[in-house]
Amino acid sequence: MSYTPVIPLSGYAGWAYLKRTMAPQTKAFNSAPEVKSDEAYFRANIAKIKTAAQLVDDRRLLKVALGAFGLEKDLENKFFIQKVLQDGTLKTGTLANKLADKQYQKLSQAFGFGDYAVRSTQISNFADSIISAYQARQFEAAVGERNDDLRLALNAQRELPKLAAKTSSSDNTKWFTILGNAPLRSVFEKALGLPTSIGTLDLDRQLAAFKAKAKAQLGTDAIADFTDPAKVEGLMRRFLVRSEAQTFAQSGSGSAALSIMQQISRNARSRYT
């Protein structure tokens, strides 16, 4: 039986509860029979894999490999994933480099089938790194079954500081990465109060709008500043408060719901400012 995360509250209150209980909840989740079975099988067999074809032919290994990068939806797309893996990332025109979703690029880089003579699967700590990512992603997916906003928040809390810390990318390049990453874009879009229709504008106009809103509402338009946990938490607060307010408004709860959300927002600001 799988473990179902306990989320008794929604919105920012639910986020606060999830953060407080994260350690025991993730421990319980990772101890569930299904997760333990996936882990054991991956550890026992991944070192035998030396080609992309071998990996996609083993459904149980591929499930963990894709799940570690949030790509489990592609479990049946064996030919596509094999192409992503075997072409690698060192050449500019490879499939993984051309795809908008950079998780495919990360998958290909991690396994190294198309790039290096010594495959990553032969490295001693490789299984640990993939299993750790798989467990984190699967826990997020389980949270998402209860509350998708909290799944998006968990993903942003993990991915945004890593993007912010990249010294090889310009700030605009980091923004374009966010605009092309559906989960991160969703968090920023809602936190900044931007309509989804903004996606119909050309990218330069989208970039200008996101940066202007971020400067006005978050106090910075520099993605590098999100190496600061307080900046990330401020973004999560705005995202979750706005999202819950919209949900209440759409359900017909009207001004009473908005009043509650405004009070939550004021209380949250008093804690973190």
Q: Which residues contact 1 (CB under 8 A, 6 or more apart)?
A: 32, 33
pLDDT tens, residue by residue, 185-208: 999 999 999 999 999 999 999 999
- Per-residue pLDDT at 100: 84
Spatial distance between the Cα atoms of 140 and 154, rounded to a whole number of angstroms? 7
Mean pLDDT of the chain: 90
Helix (H), strand (E), coil (C) string for 38-99: HHHHHHHHHHHCCCHHHHHCCHHHHHHHHHCCCCHHHCCCHHHHHHHHHHCCCCCCCHHHHC
Assess contact for 97 and 105: CB atoms under 8 A: yes
Q: Which class would CATH give 32-133?
A: mainly alpha
The residue that leads in pLDDT, 201 or 1, is: 201
Predicted TM-score of the model (pTM):
0.83
pLDDT tens, residue by residue, 110-138: 999 988 878 899 898 999 999 999 999 99
Assess contact for 59 and 40: CB atoms under 8 A: no
Domain parsing of the chain, residue ranges:
32-133, 169-272
pLDDT tens, residue by residue, 228-265: 999 999 999 999 999 998 888 776 655 545 555 555 55
In the chain, what percentage of residues exceed pLDDT 90?
A: 82
CB atoms within 10 A of CB 73: 8
pLDDT tens, residue by residue, 256-266: 455 555 555 55
